[in-house]
Structure 1
Amino acid sequence: MHRSQELYNFLVENSWQLTEDWYSSVEDHDPNSVYSTKDPAIIKELKEQNQDYFVRLFKIFIQEEHYFFHEFKQWSEELAKDPKHLITPLHYVIREFMKTQEIVLNYIKKFISLNKETVELEKIFFWYDLVVKTVNLSMNVFIEEYHKNTSTLLNAQQETINELSSPVIMIKEDVALLPLVGHMDTGRTKFILENTLNLCAHKGIVHLFIDLSGVAIIDTMVAQQIFNLINALKLLGVKPTLSGIRPEIAQTATNLGLSFEDIDIKFSLAQALNSIQ
């Protein structure tokens, strides 16, 4: 029902014109969008990608449907990994998919108008549905890849933020400071625990000052993790000293039944650092 060598030939013969029609419709001034480029090499590459997309899409009119969609999905997955498109805001890419679909449907209309006597109405509806289905497949594949890429970038950024916001600062050869600043959640506290233990072991730290004066609020889970860090440091042979404990933090720890008895505590970071002498 869907196959038509005549329609396929017509579309392939006009594929470059379809591409020119598509590119002439692009109006983008956002510097973050690949479609706003003025670089002739990138423009040429965009047109070639678009034309290749058209030619592959048109194969739906000459191939078995199940075979086509399997092959087209694999090709779309590779195309979706193009870095220039992955750093372009998603709504711009979706917009161009929709424009591409519109242009293909317009050329199918031209073919129908040239072959009014031979094209059945049922077949027209079938062709339209296939184009929409194929473009939707492309968009879904791209959105999935875009999401994977975004998640990877966010995870990498979060790791960098965690590393920068929980530095172990060397004060003397075997003495270091861990200043905790900002919002503490369970995920960040877990990272700090693991990172701090590794650094202490790697750098041979025997005395670690942990300053909490830059932390406004700590919930019960985070308080428990901090005490876990203190206990783990002791097992490594590292002496922990706490400073800058706010009343609300002390109250949270007390409510949890966490004992400060065996922990060296200083009122402020200045007092803690003075004790080194």
Structure 2
Amino acid sequence: MHRNNDLHTFLLTRARQLTEAWYNSIDKSKASGVYSSSDPNVIENLKKQNFEFHQLFCEVFIIDKETFNKRLDDWVLTIAEDKQHLETPTHNIIKEFMRVRNQYLDFVNEFAQGYQDHNIFDQMRMWEDIVIESFDRAMLRFMELQNQVVESQIQSQQQIIHELGTPLISLNEDTALVPLIGNIDPTRAKLILENTLQQCVQKEVSYLFIDLSGVVMIDTMVAHQLFQLIDALELIGVKPILSGLRPEIAQTAVQLGLNFDNLTITSTLAQAITINSKAHP
């Protein structure tokens, strides 16, 4: 049986020693990220995180596996989300996990040497297996959870970039402009449709200029989505006015059989604004 209250107490009373010995043994000349920081606040927080880990990890010898793994996952997630650790190469973090694991193996060996039991060697091997298994899980979960955190951040950043890439600019109380610039892929086209409709409703837009002069080329799928936007705008009572339509894009639209009959189209944005101002002074 791997559970042992005496071993738990032995390790717990050495938790602070483990933290200080670990931090002092970091080779600052080769360390990077959080481990190389000279900021007192960063160092204090790093030691605090390490100490909290020791307080938690000692419980592997007194509580059931399911409860321990849940608590371990909670701690690992705080490290995976930590800004300083996110700026630290993953291989350096794994290296420190491994160094701390060796600390535990040394202390288990020290405890076993002073333990009076004829089965102590079998017990020691069991405790060592538990330490190795638990650290392996911690390292694996760290990589999984940090990957999830990074992926979530990337998605959020992409969302912001897409939203910034399709700004709806108010020109007056009922007229707005959407200047489209750069490459438009299907994902961005979908966001343009959703964001534009939402902002038109929020800002009570009646006339919307859609300027395509900054778009060099779009494929048939994207062209179809853009003209879906035009149809959707008309459904919510917004008059779309298209400008800067390049010949290549117009050709794609014609090939798709899109209807231009009720759509106001001009060569430039300036012409579009002029025509609209004359029609709706």
The TM-score bracket by the shorter chain reads: 0.7 to 0.9
Which has the higher mean CA deviation after the structures are superposed, 128-137 or 19-28?
19-28
Q: Distance in 2 between matches of 1:169 and 1:224?
A: 24
Structure 1 28/146 Cα, relative in aligned 2: closer, same or farther at 3 Å?
Answer: farther
The corresponding residue for 1:70 is: 66
Is residue 2:251 matched to residue 1:251? Answer: yes
Identify which of 70, 78, 81 aligns with 1:81.
78
Stretch of structure 1 that moved more, 76-85 or 178-187: 76-85
The residue that corresponds to 1:220 in the other structure is 220
Partner of 2:236: 236
Secondary structure of the 1:143 match is: helix
User: What amino acid maps onto 1:272 in structure 2?
Assistant: A
Would the aligned equivalents of 1:33 and 1:89 in 2 still touch at CA under 8 Å?
yes
CA distance in structure 2 between the partners assigned to 1:258 and 1:191 by the alignment = 21
Whole-Å separation in 2 of the counterparts to 1:264 and 1:30: 64
Partner of 1:18: 18
**Counterpart residue type for residue 183 of structure 1:** N
Deviation at 1:52, TM superposition (A): 3.0
- Deviation, structure 1 residue 167: 0.9
Q: Distance in 1 between matches of 2:184 and 2:32?
A: 33
State the shift of 1:179 in Å.
0.6
> Which residue number corresponds to residue 193 of structure 1?
193
Distance 2:205 2:14 in 1: 71
Shift of 1:23: 0.5
The separation in 2 between residues aligned to 1:174 and 1:205, in whole angstroms, is 5
TM normalised by structure 1 equals: 0.83
- Equivalent AA in structure 2 for residue 72 of structure 1: F
The one-character-per-residue Cα deviations of 1:66-94 (angstroms, maximum 9, x if unpaired) are x1x22222322332225345534351433
Which 10-residue stretch deviates more, 90-99 or 129-138? 90-99
* RMSD over aligned Cα atoms: 2.9
In structure 1, how many angstroms separate the alpha carbons of the residues matched to 2:199 and 2:14?
63
1:1-277 mapped onto 2 (5 Å cutoff): 1-27=1-27, 33-61=33-61, 63=62, 67=64, 69-79=65-75, 80-81=77-78, 83-84=82-83, 87-89=86-88, 91=90, 92-112=92-112, 118=118, 120-277=120-277
Q: State the percentage of identical aligned residues.
A: 40
Q: How many residues align?
A: 273
Where do 5+ consecutive residues of structure 2 fail to align?
A: none
Kindly indicate whether the alpha-carbon contact (under 8 Å) linking 2:193 and 2:225 is maintained by their aligned counterparts in 1: yes
Change in Cα spacing, 1:172 to 1:55, as seen in structure 2 (3 Å) is closer
Question: How far, CA to CA, are the matches of 1:41 and 1:201 in structure 2?
Answer: 47
